[in-house]
Amino acid sequence: MACELLPFCSISLETVRVVLGSLSERKHLLDCLYRLVTHGGAPPPSSSNAAVEIVEKPTHFPGAVKLHSSGITFDALDPGNMVSVKYDAEKAILYVPKIRVRDNTERLFRNLIAYEAHLIDEVHALSYFRFMSSLADGPDDVALLVEKGVLAQDIGSNEEVASMWKRLCINNMRVWSQEFEEVAQPLAVAAAL
């Protein structure tokens, strides 16, 4: 059931039970969803008093096709969540959580953006959306990510999936977390070689 409702299919029922078991600690129903998709139900690794380090001018990197033509391969993380994006420069492998894009995915993500905006000190969802907007820059990028198992799309066209990532970033701050910057910088360098 969790797989049918959540974009990251690998979130286990046990993880859902952990989050639901701590409902008294949750501020809102969206807090449950936010914790599931950003940290897989676990509390954020940083202390609750420390704000996420925000990068105000994120490094731009090219889409999946250009990265692939530069020698970078993609590996779908399953299980995975929004903060599990990693790049292994030695192996030239970008690890991205497997995600299923459905008709309700954009609506669900917009709710997460609104929820995160009121948190003030977290940008995990926005960082992930900005990252995916660059990675899935166009329909050819989406097609490659589908082929590599990173994306599964059920909404009709690769163009619509690429457009969804772009729409999620409209009218939002152009920032992301230091963790995503640490992935983007070596990708930009590798693509430039």
Which H/E stretch holds residue 77?
strand 73-77
pLDDT score of 19? 65
The model carries a pTM of: 0.85
pLDDT score of 134? 95
Task: Locate 138 and state its tokens.
Answer: 């166009």
pLDDT tens by residue, 76-111: 988 788 888 999 999 999 999 999 898 889 998 999
Convert 117-144 to b/e letters by CB count within 10 Å (16 or more is b). Answer: eeeeebbbbbbbbbbbbbbbbebbbbbb
pLDDT tens by residue, 34-61: 877 887 666 555 544 456 788 999 999 9
Nearest residue to 176 (alpha-carbon basis) of 107, 139, 126, 109: 126
Residue with tokens 């509390």: 43
CB 93 within 8 A of CB 87: yes
What average pLDDT does range 114-129 have in this prediction?
Answer: 86
Task: Locate 162 and state its tokens.
Answer: 């690429």
Using pLDDT thresholds of 50, 70 and 90, give the confidence band for residue 73.
Answer: very high
Decide if pLDDT at 16 tops 70.
no
What average pLDDT does range 24-37 have in this prediction?
Answer: 74
Using pLDDT thresholds of 50, 70 and 90, give the confidence band for residue 2.
Answer: very low
Decide if pLDDT at 5 tops 80.
no
How far does CA 191 lie from the centroid of its chain? 21
The counts of H helices and E strands in the chain are: 9, 7
